[in-house]
Amino acid sequence: MYKGLTSTSEIQRREGSKGIHLLTIARHEATLKKGRG
């Protein structure tokens, strides 16, 4: 979904709180995948 993002602040500028929420979900899903892997 997001390509080439370097920091949370960049997402904040682009998407606001929505971007932060999506980033949190993405990190959560990645953590779940690592746990299963």
Structural domain boundaries enclosing 37: 8-37
User: pLDDT tens digits for the chain (37 residues)?
Assistant: 556 556 667 766 776 667 677 778 888 888 888 877 5
On whether residue 13 sits in a domain, the answer given is yes
Predicted confidence at residue 18, as pLDDT, reads 72
- Classify residue 32: in a domain, yes or no: yes
Which pLDDT value is given to residue 34? 83
DSSP 16: T
Q: How many domains does the chain have?
A: 1
3-state secondary structure of 20: helix
User: What is the pTM for the complete model shown?
Assistant: 0.40
